[in-house]
Amino acid sequence: MPEIKNANFIKSSTELKDCPTPHLPEYVFIGRSNVGKSSLINMLCNHKKLAKTSSTPGKTTLINHFLIDDSWYLVDLPGYGYARTSKVNRAAYKKMIFNYIENRRNLVNVFVLVDSRHTPQQVDLEFMEWLGKKRVPFSLVFTKLDKLSSSELVKNLQKYTRKFLEHWESLPKTFRTSSIAQTGKDDLTSYIQDLNEQVADHILESYQASKKQ
Ligand code: GDP
């Protein structure tokens, strides 16, 4: 069974240039504030308090790097679309995140988290559209599955799919998760580990080549 054994916080950065060296495969977790991102990261890493869960949305404001099993980086990005953040903050946030995502050379995949209970939100759809435009690979992660009955879940996912397909030709890879019920952990971990096997050597070589220049 795939399992994360070691997860360590490395650093918080405000800009791309301050991030750890890009020699390992990297995966981003992002979503609207309160979507359950910190809980999901903690579940994946078998750690109660690695990412800070909070009842105050919009608290994480930095690019947070965690080193997983000495072989890949998990990146916790601030929750977007939080209405109470000032306009200036929102603009600065967008600049920081977009610059990081667009230019981080070892970024393998972005996991976009959405609450299974909610209808597709404009801010999520716009963000995924931007990822598509920039050709950044992403997956959809439905969170808080335990809050719905299985029939409600089916209905909501159908609604989500319909809306998504108004903008896209097909659905990206999707995951269904609940941090409370520990759902989706193996799926996510194996997906990341499989990708790591495919890309790790290339990422390391390209980092070493860039250092020689
Ligand atoms: P973040 O702001 O996206 O990092 O969200 P948090 O992980 O801090 O979670 C926000 C709220 O949702 C907290 O009250 C969590 O306890 C709750 N929550 C997170 N994940 C789940 C889940 O899978 N199931 C349920 N029922 N609640 C969750």
Using CA atoms, how far residue 57 sits from 112, 120, 128, in Å, is 17, 19, 21
Tell me the pLDDT tens digit for each residue of 95-123. 888 999 999 999 999 999 999 999 999 98
Instruction: Check whether 207 has a pLDDT greater than 90.
Output: yes
Residues with CB under 6 A from ligand 1: 31, 33-39, 53-55, 57, 79, 143-144, 146-147, 178-180
Tell me the pLDDT tens digit for each residue of 29-77. 999 989 999 999 999 999 888 887 544 444 456 899 999 999 999 999 9
Can you give the pLDDT at residue 89?
74
What average pLDDT does the segment 195-209 reach?
97
Can you give the pLDDT at residue 179?
97
Torsion of CA 142, 146, 149, 150, to 10 degrees: 60
What average pLDDT does the segment 159-175 reach?
94
Residue identified by tokens 């990206």 is 172
Whole-model pTM: value is 0.94
Can you give the pLDDT at residue 187?
98
Of 66, 41, 67, 63, residue with least CA distance to 52: 41
Site to probe by mutation for ligand 1, drawn from 39, 60, 111 as the one with most ligand atoms within 8 Å of Cβ, is 39
Site to probe by mutation for ligand 1, drawn from 29, 33, 34 as the one with most ligand atoms within 8 Å of Cβ, is 34
Average pLDDT, the chain: 91
More confident residue, 26 or 49: 26
